[in-house]
Structure 1
Amino acid sequence: MPTSLDVQLFWIAFWCYLIGWFLFTVWLGVKKPILTTLGSVLYVLGFLPQTVGFVVRWVNTGHFPMANMYEYLAVMSWMAVLTFGVLTWRYRNWVISALITPIVVMLMVAASLLPKEPSMQLMPALQSYWLMIHVSLASIGAGAFAVAAAVSMIFLLAARDKQDESFKPRLRAPFQALIIIPLALIIVPLLTGLLARQSAVFVFNVITPRFGGGLILLGIYFLVVGFVWAHLAKTESSAVRRYWAGVAFLSLFIGSLVAGALLKTGSIALTEQSPLRIFEFFGLVLILGTVTLFLLHALLGFGSVPAKLHLEGKLLDEINYRAVTLGYPLYTLGALFAGAIWAEQAWGSFWSWDPKEVGALIIWLFYSAFLHARYQRGWSGTRTAVLSLTGFAMMMLSFFGNYFFGGLHSYG
């Protein structure tokens, strides 16, 4: 089947963003101005076909192209690129611009893994102009949250205080939290068959119920690993804890993308129709994220590379705050208010306790708490950076939750 024009334009944008990100990354090391110029040109060249592809898909299908997860994620990445352009123009800081580009690439990679076939005939529930209002505002708001997360990750990795000159991240805490404890957990089901009856995980077409049981245990541990790590690292300096938090979040996102790719290609298959399959996925992400974390730590010169960027923490914190304040009203209007009106028209009720509805409410409450902590409690810096990254992780879990929880929003 020939690839449609809008998808071809998506791939053109994908490769422009990917090559642009590579040029920005090289610039961080060699500081040649021509690289930022070429990188910026590529992001413009990618933004244009992505925008045109959106319009082409709209014309071809005869409806606003927001009917599936691929289209939603594509608009999120589009908003992230637009915000990248605004921040580059506003702050003229190429280091920040260069370090925002990976979040665009991650969103595009995630979109590329999803089915791209357009819905030529919408189901009755989607045949409403409230679809355009609901999903477009929610996705654009989510794109702003994505940029806030990217800036927060930069803050955790690179922001340094004057007293942080002796910065030396040690491996003791991450080794204990990510190697020793998980090995002890996974050995139990491998030897005893614990939870093996609840799992039918396939690895390269071979059923491995005991390994699946181990994934479930690791997935449960995944929910508390951050707290365990924080306890083990409580004697470390604040700069070291910030650095490891940034590496951990970045590894989490990369590990999730790799896990998604393995599931899409069929290399790994989770247990069908199992309420525990979400924990199998978490366990897989924990394994892949752990490998990624130690590789990233090495690629970052064991912590020495981010320290050379000399970024101002206050500026990064301001951008994080402004991106959240941009996304919050858009997400509020789109995900909650317009979503409730659309739900009443489509299903006869403003609220149905659908998993996606509950997820949107939790995310909105979380970002409301973020702004409250910022305004009323004076939170800033590390605290708001961690909150921003946590909120974005919750958003991505809610987005892909269709694969685990089903519900009324399972449109593909």
Structure 2
Amino acid sequence: MTDLPVTVVPVGGGAFAPYDVVVGRGLLATAGQRIAPLTRGRTVVISDETVAAIHGPALSASLTAAGVANQIIAVPAGEGSKSFAELERLMDRLLEAGLDRKDVVVALGGGVVGDLAGLAAALYMRGIDFVQVPTTLLAQVDSSVGGKTAIDTPRGKNLVGAFHQPRLVLADIDVLATLPPVQLRSGWAEVLKHGLICDAAFFDWLSGDGAGGATGDPAALERAVVRSVEIKTGIVGEDEKEAGRRALLNLGHTFGHAVEAELGFEEAALAHGEAVALGCVLAFQYSARLGLCDPEEVETVDAAIAAAGLPTRLKQAGDFTADALIARMAGDKKAEGGRLTLVIARAIGDAFVEKTVDAADLKAFLQEQGAA
């Protein structure tokens, strides 16, 4: 299939059908050979207009060479495509293409495309198979793995969706060379997050010898993607639908999603990963405020995230009120009965879920961080 070495990380096998995450270089050229056994011979590739122009021809040629009939449906680039309106248009295009339950949808793109295409596949004829071909670092290490699919609403991010596991994930390191620096940094935030959750040694490597991954070093990127996928798949395999341990993967996200929602998802001044990076710093700072985490650990986290060119201060994102941020956080998917829930930490590599966050104390903390 290819002479280039690949790493195969198996996912699941318990609550859901197992599948492989294949990480390596040159995978786009051989994608057709890997996808062909999953379909009767027909697929629709869903991409965005930018990615379709860059990588669509190579994937289409690979599918055609493997005997898989294919067409590309391109949606507008950007978070705005994760909407009811775009989902409806996409579903109509899939119906027009005449796919049946033995056909496959392929998501070619970043997290927006993967979330939208995955939800469309989950809904189409009550669920057909799909394959993730993530083209951003953030999607390779996070959103393409684990089966979360969703769209946004004006009330918040990813609030309407379904759990629908892919049949296969192909993470081609070579496609990351086409990413603009802000998107590479955005993905690196999710990589750092994985170390902060449960692997202090991995975080140390990311902050030291592996730091070149944040600026595109292929060898560092490949190692970072593989380890991130191993961490995420280990957690997802235990807890597919976030009933317990999977919530750890949301470190930085409750703060980050609140910031994104206040900025407005479509016009946000921050990329998603940048918001997550800021959220991770805030989570560690709040952990120190509660006396759970050594302030030196917070300084280490702050320094590593800043060194990657990611924001570490609330004022870098914009002007916010504490009340508005807390209202967003209370509506987060992890909140239970309106109670605030945060992923915080005892140390680097030792995160946990706290379901009894005091709103008044959190408000005071956010005001100390620069919120009005």
Q: Which has the higher strand share?
A: 2
Q: Which has the higher helix share?
A: 1
Structure with bigger gyration radius: 1
Higher relative contact order (CA 8 A, sep 6+): 1
Q: TM-score range by the shorter chain?
A: under 0.3
**Structure 2 length-normalised TM:** 0.26
